[in-house]
Structure 1
Amino acid sequence: MYETKNPLLTPELYAYVLEHNPPLSPAQRALVEATHRRFAEVAGLQTAQEQGPLLAFLVRLTGARRIVEVGTFTGFSTLSMAAALPADGRVIACDVSEEWTALGRAAWADAGVADRVDLRIAPAIETLRALPRDPWIDLAFVDADKGSYVDYWEELVPRMKSGGLLVVDNTLYHGDVTDLGKGGGAAAIRAFNDRVRADDRVDDVLLTVADGTTLARRL
């Protein structure tokens, strides 16, 4: 029998979580608000607010200097990681939208970290395949089209340094991963989660953070 210790995440409890996390910087807060104002219909694509401090924490915890991000949207996650990097650290940010990432570019500049972000506008799979194949990535963050998650994974894992950390968002897919009757993104995430669990190149854990967050350490 499975029992959860997770409390129901009411708006009040969610606000409490945010209040007891490191506060967003002025640049992060402005970017969240600008995203919801300018791209209201798709603002849900933005990485959850509590994941910003988490990503920054993981960058500092791992001592990461070289990061690859798959799926940038308006750049909130990029900003969170770039701000936690040392001055010589870099984030290669992959996206296909000039419009969305333009908002991110402005935010990175406002935060003084634009020189730490290498934005590459192209299909992410093409960008990944063009990267050096030797293990050199310290941290990777994936939050993009779900149908390509397995492909992204297969390109990233061989390029991760030993002990490198992969962070993957939406691995519960709104709770639909348990509904075998649902295809599309839910089916893609089920396939991805099964692939990760079967991959003996990594040590992994799936957390109920935001819409599901998988952490995997390259062995």
Structure 2
Amino acid sequence: MENTEDPTNVYVPVILQSDKLAKYIVETAAYPREAQLLKELRERTENYPRGNMGTSPDSGQLISILLKLLNAKKTIEIGVFTGYSLLLTALNIPHDGKITAIDIDRKAYEVGLPFIKRAGVEQKIDFIESPALPILDKLVQDPSNLGTYDFAYIDADKWSYMNYHERLIKLVKVGGLLVYDDTLLGGFVVWPEEDVEAVLRPYRKAAIEVNQALANDPRVEIALTPVGDGLTICRRIA
């Protein structure tokens, strides 16, 4: 994992087994099936500050299948960055599908916007430049929004995941999915705290707490998967 003084630059997609196996997976199964515009956006993001924050292509591959199995039409995304997962979602929902996309950094979103426009899917996206909680609270306050979303993807500040979860569980329909990224944090969740760099310890602690809380939530079925940097898939059942 890259070591920098910037505490926000800590998320490098790492499959737990080994770098060689990670490379094998993406080169064998993910890259050959990656849409051209997603490939171009991924490569553009690699040269953007904190470019390692983008959704990994193998995670995207799984998300694509989940969206199609759900026949998802109305989705919400917390944490957009340059928009790799946003473009992927837009490509996998119907022409009249809609994505509510929330992020505090419009500048990063605009890096991916030309690719979104070239794909002809901009009309599917409602980008909101804002912290997520005020927007989620506003959505929850409107009864017409409750239980209407098919899919939620969360890839933002890890210490707020459960605050997001409490709002999103009301917005996503029974049978819908909530998918949380970076829940294995490069494997640091199983490291002794003293072996983890001090700057990373709050992220490790947050990930462990989120994993435990989701595992104990009777409102969802979950699968914690070692894809990308850890992807927790939650199906709302209550």
Contact 2:64–2:88 under 8 Å retained in 1 = yes
Q: Distance in 2 between matches of 1:7 and 1:122?
A: 33
Contact 1:18–1:50 under 8 Å retained in 2 = no
**1:2-49 CA distance string (max 9 Å, x none):** xxxx99434466245433246221211111111112x1x401100001
Q: Distance in 1 between matches of 2:171 and 2:17?
A: 38
Contact 1:27–1:111 under 8 Å retained in 2 = yes
Q: Distance in 1 between matches of 2:224 and 2:188?
A: 15
- The alignment covers a number of residue pairs equal to 212
Alignment of 1:104-123 (within 5 A): 104-123=112-131
- The match for 1:81 is 89
Call closer, same or farther: CA 1:30–1:154 in 2, change over 3 Å.
Answer: same
Q: Distance in 2 between matches of 1:160 and 1:209?
A: 23
- The match for 1:94 is 102
Say whether 1:26 aligns with 2:44: no
Say whether 1:170 aligns with 2:179: no
Say whether 1:217 aligns with 2:235: yes
Structure 2 portions without partners, runs of 5+: 1-14
**1:131-158 CA distance string (max 9 Å, x none):** 1452111000011111111111111011
- The match for 1:186 is 204
The equivalent position to 1:64 in structure 2, one of 61, 72, 82, is: 72
Contact 1:65–1:90 under 8 Å retained in 2 = yes
Contact 2:82–2:112 under 8 Å retained in 1 = yes
Question: Quick one: percent identity of the two aligned structures?
Answer: 32
Amino acid at match of 2:167: E
Amino acid at match of 2:110: A
- Relative to the length of structure 2, the TM-score reads 0.83
Deviates more, 1:95-104 or 1:71-80: 95-104
Q: Distance in 2 between matches of 1:53 and 1:8?
A: 19
- The match for 1:3 is none
- The match for 2:6 is none
Cα RMSD of the aligned pairs, angstroms, is 1.8
Deviates more, 1:13-22 or 1:96-105: 13-22
- The match for 2:213 is 195
